[in-house]
Structure 1
Amino acid sequence: MLSILKPLAVFFLAGLCEIGGGYLMWQWLKADRPAWTGLVGALLLMVYGWVATWQPTSFGKTYAVYGAVFIVMSIAWAAYFDGFRPDRFDVIGGLVCFAGIAIILFWPRG
């Protein structure tokens, strides 16, 4: 079970760093927030690059799976912070992404 939870936790942490960092940069540049907001965003984006290296898989596989994690977390982030209301197609698309993650990351290889 730990072999499944650890990579998922690292993907989640990486997602928080990248989406949070991008969001803070966006707030600084597009919503006229103070410069320190952009600085914190830039630092979080750097931390994201470091956290992603904690995955035991190759770069390509890590980023393929992370792409799906990013899609789902972005929808959740927008719903929580921006008042975006996902419709059923957003939810279905997120579930398809999670199915892809499961196949790429956990499907037994022969």
Structure 2
Amino acid sequence: MTIARSLILFAAAALAEIGGAWLVWQGVRESRGWLWIGAGVIALGAYGFVATLQPDANFGRILAAYGGIFVAGSLAWGMVVDGFEPDRYDIAGALLCLLGVAVIMYAPRP
């Protein structure tokens, strides 16, 4: 159950951070305005809170592992929301990052 909870929290954090950054991007780069920017800032704040709910208490480990989730999640977001088509190197890199997440977070430790 702990691994499942951790993965759900990583997914929620990724939605909040990537979604928040995308909203700010839309507000600034696509001139959608302050409402989009404000929503993005709120989502980014939610990301910071969600990260604290991870079962592991080691900040460095959580943020290091989350980096891999962020990489893969950003590519997925781009595919779903912006029509981005990753190439084989994008996919290979994301898979390597997810392997790193598994090693950092879920390898057996004494």
Q: Is TM-score (shorter-chain normalized) higher than 0.5?
A: yes
Give the TM-score, by structure 1 length.
0.95
Cα deviation digits, residues 12-66 of structure 1 (max 9, x gap): 0000000000000010011000211111101001111111000122110000000
The answer for unaligned runs of 5 or more in structure 2 is none
Residue 15 of structure 1 pairs with residue 41 of structure 2 = no
- List aligned pairs for 1:60-75, cutoff 5 A: 60-75=60-75
Q: By how many angstroms is 1:98 displaced?
A: 1.1
**Distance in 1 of aligned mates of 2:15 and 2:30:** 20
**Distance in 2 of aligned mates of 1:12 and 1:85:** 21
**Could you say which residue in structure 2 is the equivalent of 1:56?**
55
Worse overlay, 82-91 or 70-79: 82-91
**Distance in 2 of aligned mates of 1:39 and 1:109:** 41
**Could you say which residue in structure 1 is the equivalent of 2:27?**
28
Q: Which amino acid aligns with 1:92?
A: A
Q: Which amino acid aligns with 2:106?
A: F
Q: By how many angstroms is 1:79 displaced?
A: 1.0
- List aligned pairs for 1:89-100, cutoff 5 A: 89-100=89-100
**Distance in 2 of aligned mates of 1:66 and 1:102:** 10
Percent of paired sites with the same residue: 42
**Distance in 1 of aligned mates of 2:65 and 2:88:** 22
Cα deviation digits, residues 53-99 of structure 1 (max 9, x gap): 00122110000000000000000011111111011111111111111
The answer for unaligned runs of 5 or more in structure 1 is none
Cα RMSD after superposing both structures: 0.8
Dislocated runs of 4+, deviation >6 Å? none
**Distance in 1 of aligned mates of 2:34 and 2:108:** 47
Give the TM-score, by structure 2 length.
0.95
**Distance in 2 of aligned mates of 1:99 and 1:32:** 37
